[in-house]
Structure formats: structure tokens, C-alpha cells
Amino acid sequence: MQTIAANTAQRPTPNSVGLLEANFDEIYESMVQYVWNIVSRMGVHRSDAEDVVQEVFVIVHRRLDDFEGRAQLKTWVFKIAVHVVQHYFRTHARKPGDRATAKGTEIHSLVERQESGPAAEVERRERLRTLDRLLDQLDEPKRAVFVLAEIEQLTMSEIAEIVELNANTVASRLRAARQGFEKALSRFRAREEERKR
């Protein structure tokens, strides 16, 4: 991303807009899947996820000229994504987990398990639903760290930069998040067993 750093050192002039747009295209294509994963796994309601992802890229575009290349592009975009998601939760009075507690989600799940569509698609949805249900048991700060570490596989120092905490605090939070995830998994399995009886 050297080119981005070089091209964005100054505010864009009309002549540099083409370059900026080219860089933005590049960033969008390389990052949209990551941003989608973060937004979705951090618990943004499915119906709002597209809006939130778009908002992330609007901010990326508008701040592209501020990106100095000191940070890795991925870290920089993730930081924006995490901020936008936090803002979303603050302004929408929704918290991670609303999806799981929404009316009828459990029934929804059961209905979908019986669906006759392609088995792989059913399995894919089920895997995601299980993961989201477990993540829903974590509070927002722990969930963010867990998603960044376990799903996006970022390093401690990268996560620390994104969530603006020191690495020790991040490590401690990740430890707690993993414990919370394991507990949620135990409860989930216990309920599954109970349901089979």
C-alpha cells in the first residue's frame, strides 16, 4: 500500500481524484469481506449490517487522504469498522445479542433446520447461527476482541491499536472472552442435549 500512502499525503485535488478513486476501489475490493465479517460477527443486526458496512467505507473514502501508511491498511480499516459498530450500538440502543433474543429466533432456527434446500447451505447457516449465538453471550468489548483475535486472527498489538487499549488489557480481555465463549458453548450443548431427549 505504498502507493496509497504516497498518493494520500495531501488533500486530493481534482487531478488526484482519479488516483484516490483507484485506491479506494483497491481498498474496497480487498477489505469488504473483512469489514462484513467484523460487522456481522460483532453483532450488528442483520437488517442493518449492509448500512453499517457502507458507512465504514464512506468514512474510509473520506479519510483516505489522512491515511499515512504508518498503520497497516487492514488495521486502519478495522479501526474505523470497530468505531462505526460501537457508534451503531450507542445510537440504536441495540446490543450484541439482540439478534438471538429477537422474537422467534429459536423457532426460526428450528424451521430452517427442516428446510429442504441444499444441505451445504443449511449447514453453512447453522454454523454461522451457532457462532453468533455463542458470541451473543459476550459483552461488546469482549466480543470485539474475540472477533479480532479468533476470527480475524490479528495479533495482540494490532488489536490493541484498533481498540485503543494497551496489549496487556487486550490479552486479559481476550482471556475473559475465551472463557465466556467456552461457557456459552457448554450451555449451548447442554440445551441441545436436553432438546434431544
Partner 1 sequence: MNDLSPEARAIVEGSRDADVLSHADRERLKQGVLLRLATLGVATASTGTAAGMSLAAKLTLTAIAATVLGGGAFSVWELRRPTPKPAVVAQRSSSTEATAVVLPLPEETRKEVLVPADSPTADSGRHENAKKTGKRAQAIAQPPSAAAGPLDPEPELRVLRQAREDLRAGLAESAYRRLVDFDRQHGQGVLAQERQALTVIALCSWRPGSEAEARAAEFLRGSPESPLDERVRSECRGSAGAVR
Return the residues of window 73-112 that contact partner 1 according to CB under 8 A.
Answer: 88, 91-92, 102-104, 107-108, 111-112
Q: Is 28 a residue that touches partner 1 (CB under 8 A)?
A: yes
Q: How far apart are CA 105 and CA 62, in angstroms?
A: 37
Task: For partner 1, give the closer residue by CB, 139 or 152.
Answer: 152
Q: Letter for the amino acid at 125?
A: R
Print the SS3 string covering 125-145: HHHHHHHHHHHCCCCHHHHHH
Smallest separation, CB 60 to partner 1 (Å): 9
| Exposed/middle/buried for residue 65 (C-beta within 10 Å: 0-12, 13-18, 19+) | middle
Please state, in angstroms and as integers, the Cα–Cα distance from residue 78 to each residue in 49, 53, 65, 100, 148, following that order.
Answer: 15, 11, 17, 25, 9
Smallest separation, CB 70 to partner 1 (Å): 24
Return the residues of window 128-147 that contact partner 1 according to CB under 8 A.
Answer: 128, 130-131, 134
Question: Can you read off the three cell numbers belonging to residue 174?
Answer: 481476550
Answer whether 79's CB lies under 8 Å from 59's CB.
no
Smallest separation, CB 16 to partner 1 (Å): 10
Please state, in angstroms and as integers, the Cα–Cα distance from residue 58 to each residue in 63, 64, 71, following that order.
Answer: 9, 10, 19
Stretch that binds partner 1, among 1-9, 69-77, 157-165, 168-176 (CB under 8 A): 168-176
Stretch that binds partner 1, among 1-9, 24-32, 73-81, 136-144 (CB under 8 A): 24-32
Binding site for partner 1 (CB under 8 A): 12, 14, 17-18, 20-21, 24-25, 28-29, 32-33, 36-37, 40, 46-48, 50-55, 57-58, 61-62, 88, 91-92, 102-104, 107-108, 111-112, 115-117, 124-125, 127-128, 130-131, 134, 150-151, 171, 174-175, 178-179, 181-182, 185
